Amino acid sequence: MEKETTEEKRNEMKETGSMKLDSNNRKHNVRLLTIIGEIEGHEGSSGTAKTTKYEHLLPMLAAYDENSEIQGILFILNTIGGDVSCGLALAEMISGLKTPTASFIIGDSHSIGVPLAVATDFSCIVPSATMILHPVRMSGMILGAPQSYDQFEKIQARIVDFIIRKRGLTKKHVEELMMNTSMFAKDLGTLLVGGQAVEEGLVDKVGTLSDVMDYLKQCPH
């Protein structure tokens, strides 16, 4: 039975990037979910790209939130961003969970990875990890028309509004970070390393996995 359980956990980790963290003498029941690589959208990414499939995470989150035995959900982030619509939908889903949540940024949390990082109740970043805020981009052919600009503006406003709601920052502050012209030679935006993300109000703490687990363990069960 123990062998089967171990094999089930291994398969679950391989297929969905999730794991049940309950093998401890204190019987804390925390679920681990990874958000790694590119956030895959309505179209599949290339076969060689590391992706997070939001359509896999949504039903899992709904099931976790209805399970009273789960004490918290830990999201480990190392993502370059990806599909804006799907990433923001996932961030809204995380934000609305009643189960305590925490994000742990261990590598990158770029682009739409920023709303995902701030969607949780508590956030933590390692000293070497980075966050990048930049204006919305689109791939493929884009018509140079006023309507295209309006579409970009509305998409970006949704992202800015989400960050404001979750972190209590001003619209001016978030947009200044996004539209910064002094950091990148060929792009707009701001790169924040470790404690800089805390100083700008995007993350709660610079720390380690232990800090994140301690937060979830003390949450009411």
Q: Whose structure tokens read 């390692």? A: 126
In the numeric block, which tokens belong to residue 5?
Answer: 């359980």
Please confirm, yes or no, whether 111 is among the known catalytic residues.
yes
- CA-based nearest residue to 104, from 73, 60, 74: 74
Active-site option among 103, 109, 110, 134: 134
CB-CB contact of 157 with 145 (8 Å): no
Active-site option among 103, 109, 111, 123: 111
Distance, CA of 155 to CA of 65 (rounded, Å): 28
Q: Alpha-carbon dihedral of residues 153, 156, 161, 166, nearest 10 degrees?
A: -170
User: What 3-state class would DSSP assign to 215?
Assistant: helix
Distance, CA of 56 to CA of 213 (rounded, Å): 24
CB-CB contact of 217 with 71 (8 Å): yes
- CA-based nearest residue to 164, from 150, 178, 152: 178
List residues with catalytic annotation.
111, 134
